[in-house]
Structure 1
Amino acid sequence: MKKIGFIGTGVMGKAMVHNLLKNGFCVYIYNRTKSKTDELVKEGAIWQNSPQELVENNEIIFTMVGFPSDVEDVYFGKQGIFKANVKGKILVDLTTSTPTLAQKIEQLAKEKGGMALDAPVSGGDLGAKKATLTIMVGGKQQAYDKVLPIFKVIGKSFNLHGTAGQGQHTKMANQIMIAGTMTGMTETLAYANKANLDLYQVIKTLSGGSAENWSLSNYGPRILKEDYTPGFFVKHFIKDLKIALDEAEKMSLSLPSTKQAYELYEKLSQEGFANDGTQALIKLWWQNGSSSTKKD
């Protein structure tokens, strides 16, 4: 049986582990909150007491956590990944993090005789559940080739974009695009609602023309059902946009529309919606996210 380790079983990680188990993998798992692994253990996953223990029992290890600080803790902390012997092992970080941290992980893995890939994903909870994720990879070709069969189980689009950190840079480009489509989509619904249009009809019509985009097709119907559960947390999107803006600043690049999207999501978070899904941006226009309670 094919064996891998997986650290981080939140919304995205849980769905990916489920698909791996369904496809015949023996998956060793660790999560900071153990109760979040109960369902996966019932499905056959094997609990490990620390990242260090998990690494010692596996040759390929995936991590999918929330913030760069969580990545730091999982890899470099007490009982972290690098407390184990990583010689001959491949470490794959699926978290959206910083290019600099990806390079730091890859360098230490190399020094210790292992390999590392930064492989952030896009597609949200639906993509994770349906195994249709887009995976953007940075690192060595040799490591990528060995992990590719696993990528094919959890995603449908995957490319090696260059050396360590390039996967994260590609994800930043992705998030910059998403920032535009999310603000455009919510303003579209706010406008159409104010004009007393049938919002379901608007989504159907626009999804068949040049305005078609993933955010409208997937998040638009959720908004109309007042479903703001997180496929992707507001707080995580704020983190991503901050990384993108910081990286752009290092390159002396101005991203005014991305900055405005960041500020809108910050405002949403300050209003108490940090743990909602990103589609909750509409709440800046609609009280409690209901089209029948428009804000002035």
Structure 2
Amino acid sequence: MNMKPGETAIGFIGIGVMGKSMAEHIRQAGYELHVYTRTAAKADELVHRGAVWHETPADLASACDAIITMVGYPKDVEELYLGERGLIARAKAGAYLIDMTTSSPILAKRIHEAAARKGLYALDAPVSGGDIGARERRLSIMVGGDQEAFDAVLPLLQRMGANIVRQGGAGAGQHTKMCNQIAIASNMLGVCEAIAYAEAAGLDPNTVLGSIESGAAGSWSLSNLGPRIIAGNFEPGFYVKHFIKDMGIALEAAKEMGLDTPGLKLAESLYRQLEEKGYAEKGTQALYKLWAE
């Protein structure tokens, strides 16, 4: 299939913190955009700009050449794709199904196999970069699936991200995202502890950040979330509740592979403490609250 703007109908399911920006980039590129999300009001702005609203995912599936999904949890992905009214059952013949949710590698393989039996092409393509990366089209997109399907949808993915890599077959994108989340989990502990230490030492944390972010300690979390922590801005670029979900998937996959991940275990336990304190709907940088309080 030729993914040319103006000739291809694209469905987008899941208009959240990141999904809204991602869908808007698709629309701005000239694609015919179709949308569905559980909370219809979240799609109002896109619909006002010309997107086509659908009352159910099944209705959207029958109208689109490619469908992108960006939802919350593996159970949502499974419900959305599989079953009598799922996307696989309702999609047009030859359609491309691109799940950009951070989900289970095992589930990604099941979806790929079920789609293939129906003459559809499924890819798992989780992303990293948060709300900023989504707004600025700088997402890192990690893709699992067949090479031919990846080549076909690459023009579409390039409307949303800047670093797009096919990692291997079905499930490889999700495994790569787990590597990403494991690295972030321990890094966030360091970012929070560094800022807490700077404040305890009577230093200006902004000045400290100016010194350390360009050296060996530098990281995306330090440069982008460090200033939010210092400013007391704990609104989500990525939800605590979703990060806990991701760490749970990674821990389960690591256990299946016989791999011990002590840093990930510690981070997951601390984020669960944060959730218990009522911060599940805040951004991952809210971990700092465990030091501040």
TM-score computed with the length of structure 1 as normaliser: 0.95
Structure 1 residues without counterparts, runs of 5 or longer: 288-296
Choose the corresponding residue for 2:181, options 160, 172, 175.
175
Superposed displacement of residue 83, structure 1:
3.1
Matches within 5 A, 1:67-146: 67-77=73-83, 79-146=85-152
C-alpha displacement at 1:18, in angstroms?
Answer: 1.3
Could you say what secondary structure the match of 2:214 adopts? Answer: coil
From 3, 7, 21, the counterpart of 2:9: 3
Q: Does 1:270 align with 2:276?
A: yes
Q: What does residue 40 of structure 1 align with? A: 46
2:163 matched to 1:157? yes
Q: Does structure 2 conserve the Cα–Cα contact (< 8 Å) formed by 1:235 and 1:269?
A: yes
Q: Please state how far the C-alpha of 1:202 moved relative to its aligned partner.
A: 0.8
Residue 230 of structure 2 is matched in structure 1 by 224
- Asked if 1 retains the 8 angstrom alpha-carbon contact of 2:95 and 2:121, the reply is yes
Alignment-mate amino acid for residue 262 of structure 1: E
SS of aligned partner of 1:61: strand
Report the Cα distance in structure 2 between the residues aligned to 1:26 and 1:205, rounded to whole angstroms.
47
Cα distance, 1:79 vs structure 2: 3.2
- 1:152 Cα deviation (Å)? 0.8
Alpha-carbon deviation of 1:86? 4.2
Aligned to 1:210: 216
SS in 2 for 1:91: strand
269-278 or 66-75, larger mean C-alpha shift? 66-75
Distance 1:28 1:77 in 2: 22
Aligned: 1:186 with 2:167 = no
Give the CA deviation at 1:76: 2.0
Q: 2:217 aligned with 1:199, yes or no?
A: no
Alignment of 1:29 with 2:35, yes or no, is yes
Deviations 1:35-69 (A, max 9, x none): 11111111211101111111111111100001001
CA distance in 1, matches of 2:211, 2:83: 51
Separation in 1, partners of 2:143, 2:44: 30
* Cα distance per residue 1:134-170 (max 9 Å; x no partner): 0000000111001100111100001111110010000
Is residue 53 of structure 1 aligned with residue 70 of structure 2? no
Work out whether residues 34 and 54 of structure 2, in 8 Å CA contact, stay in contact via their aligned partners in 1.
yes
Q: Identity of aligned pairs, percent?
A: 49
Q: Structure 2 unaligned runs (5+)?
A: 1-5
Tell me which moved more, 70-79 or 90-99.
70-79
After TM superposition, give the deviation of residue 3 of structure 1 in Å: 2.2
* 141-150 vs 74-83, greater mean Cα deviation: 74-83
1:71-90 per-residue CA deviation (whole Å, 9 max, x = no partner) reads 11111256321231442111
Structure 1 position 283, deviation (Å): 0.3
C-alpha separation in 1, matches of 2:41 and 2:87: 21
Q: Is the 8 A contact 1:86 1:109 kept in 2?
A: no
What RMSD in Å do the two structures reach over aligned CA positions? 1.0
Q: Distance in 1 between matches of 2:236 and 2:292?
A: 18
Q: Give the conservation status (yes or no) of the 8 Å contact 2:9–2:63.
A: no
